């Protein structure tokens, strides 16, 4: 889920030369707690494995996967969701497995 603030929507819609109304209709929907979120996964702006709005990308994108923020364990489900597609998360999880001597049980 990619949260988009009003200010971010203004910035990106301006960069795309779209009105806010058009931008909101095309790219956003209301999420829980009244937040605005991108209306597709993967994101509209991901093309050929690159962000087409990289310089204007949203704060959540800039922070992802937020390994520098506290309470890593509270976001572990999200990390596992992105394990296969995000090399940063993949490498962190694999290193954690080594650190905790994780061994897969074979039946």
Which positions lie near ligand SF4, rule CB under 6 A? 2, 43, 45-46, 51, 53, 57-58, 61
Residue 25, classed as helix, strand or coil, is helix
| One-letter-per-residue 3-state SS of 55-103 | HHCCHHHHHCCCCCCCCHHHHHHHHHHCCCCCHHHHHHHHHHHHHCCCC
For the bound state, the minimum distance from the C-beta of residue 88 to ligand SF4, rounded and expressed in Å, comes to 13
Which of 23/58 has CB closer to ligand SF4? 58
For the bound state, the minimum distance from the C-beta of residue 14 to ligand SF4, rounded and expressed in Å, comes to 15
Which of 53/93 has CB closer to ligand SF4? 53
């Amino acid at each position: 889920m990619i949260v988009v603030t009003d200010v971010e929507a203004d910035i990106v819609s301006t960069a795309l030369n779209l009105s806010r109304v058009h931008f909101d209709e095309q790219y956003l929907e209301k999420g829980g707690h009244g937040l605005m979120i991108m209306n597709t996964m993967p994101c509209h702006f991901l093309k050929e494995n690159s962000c087409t709005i990289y310089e204007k990308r949203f704060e959540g994108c800039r922070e992802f996967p937020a390994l520098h923020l506290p309470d890593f364990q509270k976001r572990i489900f999200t990390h596992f969701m992105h394990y296969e597609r995000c090399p940063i998360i993949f490498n962190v999880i694999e290193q954690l497995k080594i650190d905790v001597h994780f061994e897969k049980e074979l039946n």
